[in-house]
Amino acid sequence: MAGSARRGSGPLKWDNVIDLKFLRDNPQTVKDSQVARGEDPSLVDELLAADERRREAIQRADGLRSRQKQLGKAIGQASPEEREALLAEANELKDSLKAAGAAETEAEEAVNAAQHRLSNVVEGAPAGGEEDFVVLEHHGEPTAFNFEPKDHLDLGESLGIIDVKRGTKVSGARFYYLKGDGALLQLGMLTLAARKATENGFTVMIPPVLVRPEVMSGTGFLGEHSDEIYYLERDDLYLVGTSEVALAGYHADEIIDLSNGPVRYAGWSSCFRREAGSYGKDTRGILRVHQFDKLEMFVYCRPEEAAEQHQKLLDLEREMLAAVEVPYRVIDVAGGDLGASAARKFDTEAWVPTQGTYRELTSTSNCTTFQARRLKTRYRDESGKPQVAATLNGTLATTRWLVAILENNQRADGSVVVPEALRPFVGKEILEPVQ
């Protein structure tokens, strides 16, 4: 398993984002993917042109190096009369080779820059934008009450388990305190998720929440949404918005052992998001905040296993949502709403009674070889040849679940029924108002 991973050869490089061989053979497929994402398909032609210039530059430099070797041998065997002319050619060749090497480097950098502008190739996702998702299934009926329901913040404040006012006083908008039973409710939910992950072959990890730029970039998070990420300039480190980042970097520049099947991790961490561009949206309560906790599943597998592993991650999310007793639906996210690294993504959305709609609780993404190619994470195939691995991720529990748990399990007197699976952690069946 992962413990037998060994270091790959050569230094870590953060390139080869899109498989260039695939691009050369299937340019229209990549263009169609760009269109499905609402992104520029002409980037494909730009990358192909840059790739052609690079190959020409490599060919020219290799030809000059070959001639340099020939001259070296010829000079050693030449007569005094011949040697002078050969030495003159060798001197001229040095300048040509220096220029060719610089051109080769420049061409390589142009290819890398063009590659980093292309997102992963969409696989099977609906076309369109944020509103063009496809609903795949519903679980449970939207909760109906014979009284006027309170929202999660009113409930949390009356139960004495959420304190947004003091969170704002101490840290600013979109921060909060979870208190007493609220803290136990979250810890219980995350512990239940960790147990479920362990029972299904995941190794639970508590990873770093600060990562280097190359790791953040390698996972595809430093693109057009980089303003969502907190950056510590003095330390040149980023705060993660999901433990997916640290788990993806865990095997960077390694050849991992997939001979016994996929390698699975579950990262428990605090997560941080600037929520740039969301001002005025979901400012009430803890639905969209700057800091939250999450249990994130992460899988390394062979590319041909990725679609099956994606469904398994979704199945585990279904099981967890059933355990916390909230009605939800599963959607197939449209290409234009995918992150740069995802080829396909399924979201689960819980019913939020006071909003009269479904809101996202989990996502699970198939990133195919996009991240592993950038991070140089490989495995050996049956013939022993290194191949690029596939990576997937999926949320198994996170802070915003408390919104759906509180609202869907409230009673007319302002109390909230604790889902049965969480009662051993909270220590009670009912949360009672304290004011």
Q: Is 157 annotated as a binding residue?
A: no
Q: Where are the domains positioned within the chain?
A: 20-117, 134-431
Question: Residue 277: which pLDDT band, with cuts at 50, 70 and 90?
Answer: low
Does residue 198 have a known ligand-binding role? no
Would you say residue 412 has pLDDT above 50? yes
pLDDT tens for each residue of 208-245: 999 999 999 999 888 767 889 999 999 999 999 999 99
> Is pLDDT at 114 greater than 90 in this prediction?
no
Active site positions, annotated: 273, 288, 360, 363, 400
CATH hierarchy code of domain 20-117: 1.10.287.40
Helix (H) or strand (E) segment spanning residue 431: strand 430-431
pLDDT of residue 280: 65
Alpha carbons 156 and 163: distance in angstroms, whole number = 8
Domain covering 134-431, topology: BirA Bifunctional Protein; domain 2 (3.30.930)
What value does the mean pLDDT take over residues 179-199?
98
Lowest mean pLDDT among 21-25, 160-164, 387-391: 21-25
Name 257's Cβ contacts closer than 8 Å, sequence gap at least 6.
Answer: 1, 2, 4, 5, 263, 379, 380
Residue type, 408: N
360 annotated among ligand-binding-site residues: yes
pLDDT over 70, % of the chain? 94
Q: For residue 294, what are the β-bridge partners?
A: 269, 398
Of the candidates 237, 233, 235, the one whose C-alpha atom is nearest the C-alpha of residue 217 is 237
391 annotated ligand-binding residue: no
CA distance linking residue 407 with residue 84, whole number of Å: 90
Burial-class residue 280 by CB neighbours within 10 Å (0-12, 13-18, 19+): exposed
pLDDT confidence of residue 435: 61
Is 39 annotated as ligand-binding?
Answer: no
For the stretch 300-337, pLDDT in tens is: 999 999 999 999 999 999 999 999 999 999 999 999 99
Q: What gap in Å lies between CA 186 and CA 178, rounded to an integer?
A: 8
Which pLDDT does position 226 carry in this prediction? 84
CA distance 265 to 247: 7
Is 291 annotated in a binding site? The answer is yes
